[in-house]
Amino acid sequence: MFLTASDLQAIWLTLQVATLTTAILALVGTPIAWWLARTRSWLKTPVSALVALPIVLPPSVLGFYLLVAMGPHGPVGQWTAAWGMEPLVFTFPGLVVASVFYSLPFMVQPVHNAMEAMGTRPLEVAASLRASPLDTFFNVVLPLCKPGLITGAIMSFAHTVGEFGVVLMVGGNIPGVTRVVSVQIFDHVEAMEYGDAHRLAAVMLGFAFVVLMALNLYNQRTSRRAQAIQ
């Protein structure tokens, strides 16, 4: 068999985490990107740095602090205990929360760049037509920023699929609960099951290549359309 049952289980779990994480990031990251693109507050610089922090911060460091925060004695752990819930560490929801933090810049930055490139002219036209801010955002801003939104969604999904350090720190290695593909490959290597590791790694390599090819083709097509309009 090309992939083992545990490999398929890890792939399915990874797809679930990545899909849910991308959906949450679209809802959370888009307003953050809009605020960063429009605000003149002194908070813009520190907030931008905070959002981009997972790009340069070692995953084990981010995972450690999330582990502490969501553990039984952390602020999030105490909050969940007050509501009668179990701590988020070593659970599927905890895995999703950690993935949202880790992949946040991959959603915010492309959307932020698209919103800044849009300029103020479309907003001025919408205001002259007496469109409400909410109407302007959903019917003007989001359609014009569609390439950035799609790029952010693709990059967030792919980045979540490939993460290892954060998910291992926060989720551990529980089959069917938190054992994602990257952890499954690590298990194969640790057990000296190099054949299984090669096959699963090849699947991940093919996935990454297809994602990047699709993203490049989409960006090229978008660029050609923009040049044709001009």
Q: Which regions of 116-159 does DSSP assign to beta strands (E)?
A: none
| Beta carbons within 8 Å of 129's beta carbon, 6+ residues apart | none
Residue among 132, 135, 161 at smallest CA distance from 21: 161
Confidence of residue 112 (pLDDT cuts 50, 70, 90): very high
The residue type of 216 is: N
pLDDT mean across residues, the chain:
90
Residue 230 has pLDDT above 60, yes or no: no
HSE-up of 21 (CA within 13 Å, CB side)?
34
CA 50 from chain center: how many Å? 15
Interatomic CA distance for residues 8 and 92, integer angstroms? 17
Q: Which domains does the chain have, with CATH numbers?
A: 5-229 (1.10.3720.10)
DSSP-based three-state secondary structure for 43:
coil
Q: What is the mean pLDDT of residues 202-226?
A: 85
* pLDDT for 4: 86
Tens-place pLDDT, residues 65-96: 999 999 888 999 899 888 888 889 999 999 99
Q: List the structure tokens of 160.
A: 């979540």
DSSP conformation class of 138? I
